[in-house]
Structure formats: structure tokens, C-alpha cells
Structure 1
């Protein structure tokens, strides 16, 4: 009975872990290079954030019914997290790329102005997701939720 009541949590965690574990394989298919650090990285295909919140919402809907208020809450959370992953975090990463390029260009032109070590800081550029990565996470989340709720 305890496992049954934990299906949403188990679904969400399973989806997030699976998403992180398959990232190096999808990266290899795309680039023909292994990049094992992606297992612990943000960004990439599929989105673990999208997989987690989708699995949570779907399994809550299955467990507590899709017309329940708790499903509405988890669906709202999923929409916010998915939007954040695909937009806010993605554009923050793009902003980091532009900022680093601007600093490199200005350092070439005005080397004496950029002596502070802060200008050597490497900003993380892959923060968010492209929509196809988010959709991949959503699909993984749905499949995981269906599998976990049917198995437990």
C-alpha cells in the first residue's frame, strides 16, 4: 500500500534519472562522441526537468483522478517548470554565450581594461533546453508514469 501511494514520487524520480542516464547516448547518436559528464549536466536531450514534472502530473492524475485538485496543482507546476526549461533557462544560456564573446572581443581591443580575474570566469552556457529536448522529456515522463503506475 505504501508503494502504491508513492507512485507519483517514484514515477517522477524514475523519469528524471532515466532522462539523465540516456543523455550521453543521444549525444553520441548526434555527434559520434561520448560525453559521460552529461549524466550530471543540465540541458541536453531529453529534459530531465520536463520528464520529472510530466511523470509527476500524469501519475497523480492516474492515482488521484485527472479531475482532482491535486492533479491541477501538479499540472500547473509542470507548465511552469517546462516553460522555464524551454524559455527562461534557455535564453539565460544564450545570454552567457553572447556575454563571453563580448568579453573576448573587448579584451582583444582593450587588454588593459580587463585585468580583473572576474573576466576569466567561465559562464555555464547550457542551462536550458530547446523545445525538442523538452518534448522528449515530456514523452519520457508520460511513458515512465504509465509504466510505473501500471507496475506498482
Structure 2
């Protein structure tokens, strides 16, 4: 069982983060949206919870001075950076593009008939800093708790 502990910790942290998203949304807005379970973005970040749980699980099982831990640390930094920056700003660019299309149609009376201008594209792709930190904390505690349960 301990050989698949890192995988199980990462998967459990991912699922838990996704399940918590509609709960957190409800607590903040009183709106029920079960689709948040499969959504990108939101609190907590499933990207950061997954890679943090994986990294911590590798550190706990293989040692924090192991090559595997170093590899998962680098992997985690890349994923978290991507979730916080690249994907966030890609989402902001989508919002800007949608607004420009709306403004052009409204103010200039342009008829943009090409279907690409009216595609439904998700604007929220990335995470805010607090969502990343929430995911990292969740991943840390999931891996720690699972490690403790496996080594009773």
C-alpha cells in the first residue's frame, strides 16, 4: 500500500479540492452550483492541492533529501506557476477579447457573423493567489493525514 501512497494522496487531494469548490462558493454567495465540481479555477486550487500532496507524499515516503522529492518539487513549481500566472492571464485575455467584441458590435454597429465570435469560451482558467495557497494547504494536510493513517 505504501508504494501507491503518493498517487493516492495526490488523487484524493484533487478530488477533495474539486468537491470543496461548490461548498466554498455556496458559503460565499449562497448560490448552489454543482458544476463547480468539474470547473477550472475557484477555491481551493485542485492543481496546487494535487501537486503539493504528491510532493509531500514523496518527501514523507522517500525522504526530503531524495531525487524523487527534488523532481516533484520542480514539477510542482511549474504546475503552480502555470495555474497562477499563465492560465490566469489567458483567462483575462479571453475576458478582454469578449468585451472588445461586445463593444465593437454595440458601439460601431458591426455585424460579426463568423461563429467564432460567438463561441462560448470559459473565461476563468487560472487561480488567484489565495486559491493557490488554499490548495497547497489542503494538499499538505491530505498527504500528512494519509501518511499518519497508513503508519498507525
Q: What TM-score results when the alignment is normalised by the length of structure 1?
A: 0.96
> Which residue does the alignment assign to 2:64?
66
Shift in Å at residue 112 of structure 1?
4.2
How far does the alpha carbon of each residue in 1:9-48 deviate from its partner, in whole angstroms, 9 at most, with x for none? 0000000000000100100111111111000111000000
2:40 to 20, 39, 42: 42
> Which residue does the alignment assign to 1:27?
25
Shift in Å at residue 149 of structure 1?
1.3
Shift in Å at residue 70 of structure 1?
0.5
CA contact (8 A) 1:64 1:70 kept: yes
Q: What TM-score results when the alignment is normalised by the length of structure 2?
A: 0.96
1:94 to 70, 92, 113: 92
How far does the alpha carbon of each residue in 1:57-96 deviate from its partner, in whole angstroms, 9 at most, with x for none? 0000000000001100000000000011111101111111
Shift in Å at residue 109 of structure 1?
3.1
CA contact (8 A) 1:93 1:128 kept: yes
Q: Partners in 2 of 1:80 and 1:143 — Cα distance? A: 21
Aligned length: 150
The gaps in structure 1 that reach 5 residues or longer are none
1:107 to 105, 108, 116: 105
Q: Partners in 2 of 1:118 and 1:110 — Cα distance? A: 19
The answer to whether structure 1 residue 134 and structure 2 residue 132 are counterparts is yes
Q: Partners in 2 of 1:97 and 1:16 — Cα distance? A: 27
> Which residue does the alignment assign to 1:53?
51
Shift in Å at residue 136 of structure 1?
0.2
- Runs of 4+ that moved beyond 4 A: none
The gaps in structure 2 that reach 5 residues or longer are none
2:114 to 113, 116, 123: 116
